[in-house]
A and B are shown apart, each in its own frame.
Chain A
Amino acid sequence: MAHIADSLYSGFLRSAERFADRPALAIDGREYSYAEVRARAASIAATLAVRAPESGPPLTAVFAYRSVTAFTGLLGTLLRGHGYVPLNHTLPPARTALMLERSRARAVIVDRESAEQLHDILRGNPDVTLILAPDEQDVGWLAGQLPGHKVLGARDLEPGEAWIAPPVDPDAIAYLLFTSGSTGVPKGVTVAHRNATGLMENMVERYDVTEDDRVSQTHELTFDVSVFDMFVTWQAGGCLCCPTQKELVAPGRFIRKSGITIWFSVPSTAIFMKRLGLLKPDSYPGLRHSLFAGEPMPIEVARGWLAAAPGTNIENLYGPTEATIVCVGYRWVAGRSEAESEAGVMPIGEALPGVRTLVVDGDLREVEPGEAGELLVAGPQVTPGYWDDPETTAEVFIVPPGESERFYRTGDRVRSPLPGHPMTYLGRLDHQIKVRGVRIELGEVEAAVREATGVDGVVAVGWPATTTGADGIVAFVGSAGVDIVAAKATLAARLPPTMVPRRFVLLKALPLGASGKFDRKRLLESLAEEKE
């Protein structure tokens, strides 16, 4: 098998040559060597090439959850020369169906557990023709449920030994991820190979990752930090350790049992570990690096983590999917970091190699050091834009006045650093919030609530507020007669659990602010007053 430089998977293939017998993946009590993972992925790639239609966009969906199929399926998709579209069976099937339909992918790679949802997800889908369940011996039951689709199982796989990955255009899509969209439908972010390859190399160097490292894989594949987990590890020849859904519930036990040396999670996981008393002194002596991204990292949690893992480096990384995983980072320095923090959370630090940041005012003019403004990001990690949505792409991927480079408008408020100081994160400019690290557009929640209730006046707010975002969502509905139970059931079938409002407040009319828009601030204050 030959490999082509500068694609997301090149590093994996190099490691598969050098470290064939070393473990590439540990999952569900088993380890898979590089040779084995490569063989499985190559076989999937060959099967896709022979059996999947050539028409349609060069994308293949991977509908698998914390299974060996998920990882070999995604690698096989890349080795086929396609970009992968990760889908997650713990999300409502209606939402998964929408993502799949929007991607227009022709083939879906599936594992056993997720396959049971396929019947619902494929209903009305005009594009998908091939279903590949590479780890299922018997696919008769699935074929029976999916008339009109070609269903292939383990016995139908083509041999992979002779498979040669086709040359990949660095501008080709490596993966397509859907994030919450303010207009009511998920937004697809396309990421090209060239956006990610440099970052992977920089990160292997930054953390001195080697074949002896065992790296956690806590992030869902639908969340782009998982790309870091996988491809930084595989580039270095290390072992990716993926906890099962159940193991994820006991993260401390997982770290010790799996011999994790590099941990990466959303801060929420660390916050809960601290609350549960899992950050006892010296609990995790094997950790070399502990990385956090996705939401603000409270400094008290960083301190607790450092006590539990005295040998670790702690970093807070920042980055939107549109600028490829992480683009700004901050390394904790005892004694100094407390002073550099703002509002109790770690700074986000400085631009990673190759990244250019700009902090601007409403007219896109750079603000003075020490002032707050919107963070813009430029450099090789800035992605081509949104899938099938040139309008939104043109709105947020821009060339500011006086600049020649293309920048992504993050919508995040930061403080422009004074010389010698790190950048600090201040919050969002719009109505996007984070609930346990998951990015949520309140506009999307509001659109869904409007549809579920038939009421136009709807405001969603993050509540209760936490140092990292919010614990959940409260929806205010401007109507006295709404069947809340029915509305919740409708929403639960459409939205991920974190996006379903925990509580509905019915008001005859929603208060208006000076601009004539609904007064969010007053609604939030009403919740705060309740608590007192």
Chain B
Amino acid sequence: MAVPKRKMSRANTRARRSQWKATPATLSTCPKCKAPRLSHQACPSCGAYNERTYAEAIRTDA
């Protein structure tokens, strides 16, 4: 089984991990309440989607 020959330095580890980046979510605005929401999903602040309302989608914790 292949095993690493040397311990990887903290600097190298951290340099590698510095490339782990989160990307901002692409948001659109809710046509009803103007709050930001994800596309193709019911609005988390008012529950609107395609002129219908989904109470299940409303989130209070965020």
Do these two chains interact? no
Give A contacts to B, CB under 8 Å. none
